[in-house]
Structure 1
Amino acid sequence: MRIIINTGKGGVGKSTISALTSINISKRLKTLLISSDLAHSLSDLFAIKLTANPTRICENLYALEINPIIESAKAWQNLNSYLRELVKNNSLNDIQVEELLLFPGLEDVFSLLKILEIYKEGKYEVLVVDCGPSAETISLLSTGEKLNNLADTLVPLVKRFNSLLGGFIEKKTEVKKPKDIVFDEFVGLAKKLYELEKILMNPEITSVRFVTKASKVISNETFRASTLMNMYGFLTDCVYINMLYPEEIKNSSYDNLYLEERENVDRIEEFYPDKRVFKIYMKANEVIGLKELESLNEEIFSKIYLEEFFTACRTFDIKSEGASKIIEIDFKFASDKEVDVRRIGNDLELSYLNFKRRFKLPDTLSSRKISSYSIEDEKLKIVMDYD
């Protein structure tokens, strides 16, 4: 299965681009379009009521909007039961209980499990994912690695503590001792998310595509998000510059806006020399409904197969220089002051802005120490040597 993830800052037209992508690909391959953004808008775009189950849009094209409450119940079945037991003596109605069990920040995590479920079912040839804003998407895609680290280290300690003292705490506080199956469920969830993360990091299966606008603020956010995607090892192969002013406003009273936008288009193309950059201009009317979307697809992408990979460049690589091993990551928009690299046990921890990635070093690097790190030629270079 081919997986395409569309993301970008809020309000740049991600859902429209996702709809156009799925329509384009469905001309050749059986395609499923899903929205993992809690602010679903695919139903409005297609003018068709979508649910948590695939709805047929047209030949070869299906769509759904993920319901986090349903996915939460499937993911946390035993934890759900445990928490329901804790609150059964409180005067909470069913809706309040459902809200309690949908833990803040985990709504998007449950949507990841839906992607894994769809991938394993193998009913579709292409999956197009309409994601939320860039920062949320990056946190979402990196959840598997984080939870897997937690499952490997913290959960065994908590489980042991519960085994030794859980009964005592239950007697003293009337807080029921959780069963081992609750902890096992968490570990199972972490393993599933980690399994999916490997699929999403596979450059032969998955690519991330950014939707942006030609403004300095939005394009800068896209550049930072691209750098973070590189840090986590996800492939970006395409960028859509959306909502461009039409050329008709050139030499008018809006000429300054047009010229400023052209400068930002040049910046975006310069930042992504090895990736496909599509330019999409504003329409006179809002594009709603399958007929309008199909017409726009023909206008923009009629001779393009959007299921293709538009780059084969590696953004995360390990090279040899003499006796040294060097980890190289494309870090084009970062400065040395914004980056920190540490060795923690057998793990490497990378920090950029407010994000951290911690992952196990491969066997070829596990016995080496960090000699130095710096940003050179728009790449983060981490030099690792023996003591």
Structure 2
Amino acid sequence: MHTPVSALPIQQSDKKIITLMVILVLFSPLAIDIYLPALPMMVSEFQVAPTLGQDTITWFMFSMGLGQLFAGPLADRYGRRPIALTGIVIYGLSAALAYSAQEMEMLLVARLLQGFGACATSVAAFASVRDSFGAEKSGRMISYLNGAICFIPALAPILGSYLTIHFGWRSNFSFMAGFALVALALIAINYKETKPKETVQTGRLISPSRYWSVLQHPTFLFHATLCMLAMGVILAYVTSAPVFLIDKLGLTMQEFTNWFAVNAVLNIAACFAAPKFMIRFGTRKALLFGLSVLIAAGGLMLGFQHIQQAWAFMIPIFFSSVGFAWVLGSAAGKALAPFGDRAGTAAALLGLFQMSGAGVIVGTMQRLALPSAQLLTLMMWLLIPGLLILLSKKGKVWHSEKIVE
């Protein structure tokens, strides 16, 4: 059995911990954003429906969330570090498989496997944040972490466009494999174990009662659901945008990348502003603000749906990205806060909600063949009940500013 290694915050600087965690969480957005400009080209080469091209994203998201049911308990029992290293290896090998795929079915299998690799690095990262910064500070650190990884949507499509134009769409996956090799070396050398000694690690590895102990906590259930629905908005956007903007509106790959980058910059600013807002006004007001902005963005999207211009599609997206940053920053930290002794399991279930839940919802909605604007409006307005609950007496109890470890 693994001998736990205690790593208190004073043993590693905050800066070093966050830097390493950024590396670990970059695997997921990189696997999505770098090849978005190439998505229409991939669909054309394989001669399949656009929905199957979008499935390369939703399948990745689904397996990334599902895999965390296993990665979480493994991280609690064997430690964050070995899970992170294993995830990187799986990610790199599956990227190589995607590069060599000759049929869409093989590409989908590779993306499914790649999601399992990314889920392991994500669980290790967020559990380590909870280990290192505690219940209250971890919420703010998660917002900073989200702000850092939001650089990927700004930069990855630019890189992806260059690679696709000069070397073909497959080069995006060879870049992912190369990134995995570099990250493997950095993490193996610098990442020290953070798992607390008191972490629960007895009994069966996969225990329904262990998951139930987290799921029955209303604070977790409420905030994890908000994270899932907010992530659904972003997933609906990234899967719909290439088809709508490039195929339907006729934007060039560079024009698409420019719009995507502007939205990413706004998201970065929002992710870094959210923690400051939480410090000054509290997480509840931050969550109220984020939900309100997302719901208002849905109204804008519906109102602009008949305007066949890129700005009419992207302005509501700009607002939704700001709302997403506020919701995720305040809700994710609150969902994990009560589980200092089960941070890995709690982070895994949060990932299941956020990734697999969003993937299933968006994948199902896409089968309804709704126009992009209506799909996005529906996803944004699914958060209305969450806002109403938060304003109720029960919501005030579930989102108390005082956190009990």
- TM norm. shorter chain > 0.5: no
Using the size of structure 2 for normalisation, the TM-score is 0.24
Flag the structure with higher strand content: 1
Using the size of structure 1 for normalisation, the TM-score is 0.24
Structure showing greater Rg: 1
Greater RCO (CA < 8 Å, at least 6 residues apart): 2
